[in-house]
Amino acid sequence: MTGRQRRPDRGRRPAPRKPGPRRPPAQDPARRAALDVLRAITERDAYANLLLPELLRERRISGRDAALATELTYGTARAQGLLDEIIAACLDRPLKTVDRVVLDGLRLGAYQLLRTRIPPHAAVASTVDLVREEAGSHVSGFVNAVLRRVAEKDEQSWLEQLTPDRESDPIGHLAIRTAHPRWVARAFAEALGDKGAELEAALRADDERPAVHLLAKPGEISADELAAITGGDVAPYSPYGVHLPSGGGDLAESEVIRERLAAVQDEGSQLVALAATKAALEGADERWLDLCAGPGGKAVLLGSLAAVSGATLDAVEQAPHRAKLVEEATEGLPVTVHVADGRDPGLEPRYDRVLLDAPCSGLGALRRRPEARWRRQPSDVADLTRLQSELLASAFRLTRPGGLVTYVVCSPHLAETDGVFTEGARRAGAEVLDAREFFPGVPALGDGPAVQLWPHRHGTDAMFCAIARAR
Ligand SMILES: C[S@@+](CC[C@H](N)C(=O)[O-])C[C@H]1O[C@@H](n2cnc3c(N)ncnc32)[C@H](O)[C@@H]1O
């Protein structure tokens, strides 16, 4: 800190005003919106991709202001841990002693300084104004001083200062360079195994905006027809998939969706649900079960295929509001929704096919949730694997001998994927199948027997899929 800057100790005081997106827009609506969302993420675990659009609508922010608000919110949320390291290097006291509203403001200011073309004086002055509105004028000097120190270097120079050496600490190096927590970078590296050379691509894919994929509901419309109507492209791997052109998110609200001919669904989710229906069965193939069905994406595809083949689907979901979403999504299909705990749903067993799309860390969908990579903690995984194992044991109990259990998570974390599945199948005495056979035409599926999809390889979420035949 230079001598003429004020001491940064005043930032410790709590914000006197209650934060919240409902305050009338200030003179700087884009940055105000961004800061309000960042505060809601910090204070009440809000999701940026849900709150920001709502807030832009409510405040009638559109055009360039909306684009700026989106860039600043998503960019700052994604880079949060890296920004914190840089801000910490500009403080003469621990980062955790900085008041939360001030820290959110500093992150927003640092992001503008390091990753946008906004002139530094504008980035600093606008941030000081915003934080002063929130926390009072006593913090202005602190915010100004810290941001001026951040602005002394560009991002590259900060990275050179903060990044561990690539040779001695390759994971720490890439974690900082791609703004990921180290434990997430390590989990990706372990899942990629000796193909760790892809690690950088895998991590960088989390910063890319995913294309919108549609499901052409089997029996309702073909992928070719849907592509023609929406101006999209038939998906490369899923026979029911369509990729919308970039910026085509609004098409997701189109008539084909309202009329339930199609639904928004990542191609990876389509592929794993399809895989669950593909392996050959001896005997009956009529009773299907989706053990964790909410909000119903895969139940729609399974229910549509069940309707075509004459099967029925039971869909279990523990959370009543999510079960309701499954009911709405599967209306008109041969699907019965049950609000129950999948570990003991009280259903008649002997299902022919069971899909367990288990609750998971969601590390495979970080590109969809800008703040998620910093919110998740390694300890979450231990809790989740316990639940996943219990649900998998239940899935095997509910399946008839010779029937099929498909285990899916949207995560590449080995504890949630191979760890849970291999042990669960062993305990059930089940025969593990080579799931790659049920992803025809999909390249780079790895060494099997399970399948791990990746955004950087397949353009899908990082879905894991393993299949076993119950004995
Ligand atoms: C990964 S999501 C399923 C996504 C869904 N298959 C789809 O494609 O839309 C996991 C779901 O499991 C539900 N869940 C969590 N614990 C459960 C339990 N013990 N029994 C049943 N459902 C549970 C969650 O509420 C959540 O809706």
Q: What is the pLDDT of residues 107-145, one digit of tens each?
A: 999 999 999 999 999 999 999 999 999 999 999 999 999
The model's pLDDT over 418-437, given as tens digits with 9 standing for 90+, comes to 999 999 999 999 999 999 99
Active site residue 410: yes
**Annotation-wise, does 441 bind a ligand?**
no
Pairing of strands 233-234, 213-216: unpaired
Pairing of strands 233-234, 241-243: antiparallel
Which structure tokens are listed for 99?
Answer: 């008041």
The protein residue with its alpha carbon nearest to ligand 1, atom 13, reads 292
Ligand 1 centroid, distance to 316 Cα (angstroms): 8
Mutual angle of helices 100-115 and 140-150, in 10-degree steps: 30
Ligand 1 centroid, distance to 384 Cα (angstroms): 12
Q: What pLDDT does residue 248 have? A: 65
**Annotation-wise, does 298 bind a ligand?**
yes
Q: Which residues of 110-143 are buried (b: 16+ CB within 10 A; e: fewer)?
A: bbbbbbeebeeeebbebbbbbbbbbbeeebbbbb
Which structure tokens are listed for 79?
Answer: 């880079």
Do both 99 and 118 map to the same domain?
yes
Do both 305 and 183 map to the same domain?
no
Q: What pLDDT does residue 249 have? A: 61
Ligand 1 centroid, distance to 276 Cα (angstroms): 17
| pLDDT (mean) for 76-81 | 97
Sign of CA dihedral 124, 126, 132, 138: positive
Q: Does 307 reside within a domain?
A: yes
Atom of ligand 1 nearest to the CA of 269: 8
Atom of ligand 1 nearest to the CA of 326: 9
Q: Does 431 reside within a domain?
A: yes
The protein residue with its alpha carbon nearest to ligand 1, atom 1, reads 359
Atom of ligand 1 nearest to the CA of 409: 1
Rounded Cα distance between 259 and 226, Å, is 13
Global pTM reads 0.92
Probe ligand 1: pick from 304, 313, 317, 464, max atoms within 8 Å of CB?
A: 317
Of the listed 90, 360, 410, 465, which one is catalytic?
Answer: 410
| pLDDT (mean) for 298-312 | 97
Q: What pLDDT does residue 20 have? A: 42
Rounded Cα distance between 206 and 116, Å, is 19
Q: Does 310 reside within a domain?
A: yes
Which CATH number fits the domain that encloses residue 53?
1.10.940.10
Rounded Cα distance between 311 and 392, Å, is 22
Domain count, the chain: 4
Do both 108 and 201 map to the same domain?
no
Q: Is the pLDDT of residue 223 over 60?
A: yes
Q: What pLDDT does residue 254 have? A: 81
Rounded Cα distance between 443 and 465, Å, is 15
**Annotation-wise, does 141 bind a ligand?**
no
Q: What pLDDT does residue 253 have? A: 66
Do both 73 and 149 map to the same domain?
yes
In DSSP terms, 467 is beta-bridged to 406
Pairing of strands 399-409, 351-357: parallel
Q: Any residues with Cβ below 6 Å from ligand 1, and which?
A: 269, 292-298, 316-319, 322, 341-343, 357, 359
Range of the domain at 343: 267-469
Sign of CA dihedral 159, 164, 165, 166: negative
Q: Does 32 reside within a domain?
A: yes
Q: Does 2 reside within a domain?
A: no
Q: Is the pLDDT of residue 259 over 80?
A: yes
Could you tell me which of 415, 405, 411 has the C-alpha nearest to residue 291? 405
Cα–Cα separations (whole angstroms), residue 238 to 91, 168, 243, 466: 51, 41, 10, 18
Atom of ligand 1 nearest to the CA of 296: 9
**Annotation-wise, does 357 bind a ligand?**
yes
**Annotation-wise, does 293 bind a ligand?**
yes
The protein residue with its alpha carbon nearest to ligand 1, atom 15, reads 359
Cα–Cα separations (whole angstroms), residue 430 to 126, 403, 453, 468: 61, 10, 23, 6
Q: Does 127 reside within a domain?
A: yes
Q: Does 227 reside within a domain?
A: yes
Run of H or E residues at 107: helix 100-115
Q: Does 3 reside within a domain?
A: no
Do both 171 and 288 map to the same domain?
no
Q: Which of 11-20, 281-290, 361-370 has the lowest mean pLDDT?
A: 11-20
Ligand 1 centroid, distance to 219 Cα (angstroms): 26
From the centroid of its chain, how far is CA 229? 28
Percentages helix, strand, coil for the chain, rounded to the nearest 5?
55, 10, 35
The model's pLDDT over 1-57, given as tens digits with 9 standing for 90+, comes to 333 333 343 334 334 444 444 444 458 999 999 999 999 999 999 999 999 999 999
The protein residue with its alpha carbon nearest to ligand 1, atom 17, reads 318
Sign of CA dihedral 316, 319, 320, 321: negative
Could you tell me which of 98, 70, 36, 88 has the C-alpha nearest to residue 370? 70
Phi/psi of residue 352, each to 5°?
-85, -40
Q: What pLDDT does residue 26 have? A: 55
Do both 366 and 420 map to the same domain?
yes
**Annotation-wise, does 341 bind a ligand?**
yes
In DSSP terms, 407 is beta-bridged to 356, 466
Ligand 1 centroid, distance to 387 Cα (angstroms): 11
Neighbours of 400 (CB within 10 A): 17
- pLDDT category at 246 given cuts 50, 70, 90 is confident
- pLDDT category at 438 given cuts 50, 70, 90 is very high
CA angle 14, 19, 21 (to 5 degrees): 165
Do both 421 and 307 map to the same domain?
yes
Do both 451 and 465 map to the same domain?
yes
Atom of ligand 1 nearest to the CA of 408: 1
Looking at the chain, the whole-number percentage of residues with pLDDT higher than 90 is 90
Ligand 1 centroid, distance to 363 Cα (angstroms): 16
**Residue 270 CB contacts under 8 Å (≥ 6 apart), including other chains:** 213, 215, 235, 238, 240, 241, 301
Which residue is associated with the tokens 């949060």? 80
Q: Which of 8-12, 60-64, 283-287, 446-450 has the lowest mean pLDDT?
A: 8-12
Do both 251 and 357 map to the same domain?
no
Atom of ligand 1 nearest to the CA of 322: 27
Probe ligand 1: pick from 270, 288, 291, 292, max atoms within 8 Å of CB?
A: 292
Which structure tokens are listed for 5?
Answer: 């800057």
* Higher per-residue confidence, 217 vs 25: 217
**Annotation-wise, does 297 bind a ligand?**
yes
Q: What pLDDT does residue 197 have? A: 84
Q: Which of 71-85, 245-259, 348-362, 370-384 has the lowest mean pLDDT?
A: 245-259
DSSP state of 415: I
Q: What is the rounded average pLDDT for all residues in the chain?
A: 93
Do both 258 and 271 map to the same domain?
no
Do both 220 and 74 map to the same domain?
no
**Annotation-wise, does 296 bind a ligand?**
yes
Do both 236 and 187 map to the same domain?
no
Phi/psi of residue 361, each to 5°?
-70, -20
DSSP state of 64: H
Could you tell me which of 37, 245, 14 has the C-alpha nearest to residue 134? 14
Ligand 1 centroid, distance to 318 Cα (angstroms): 7
Q: What pLDDT does residue 3 have? A: 33
Ligand 1 centroid, distance to 89 Cα (angstroms): 41
Pairing of strands 287-290, 351-357: parallel
Could you tell me which of 20, 196, 44, 30 has the C-alpha nearest to residue 116? 30
- pLDDT category at 252 given cuts 50, 70, 90 is low
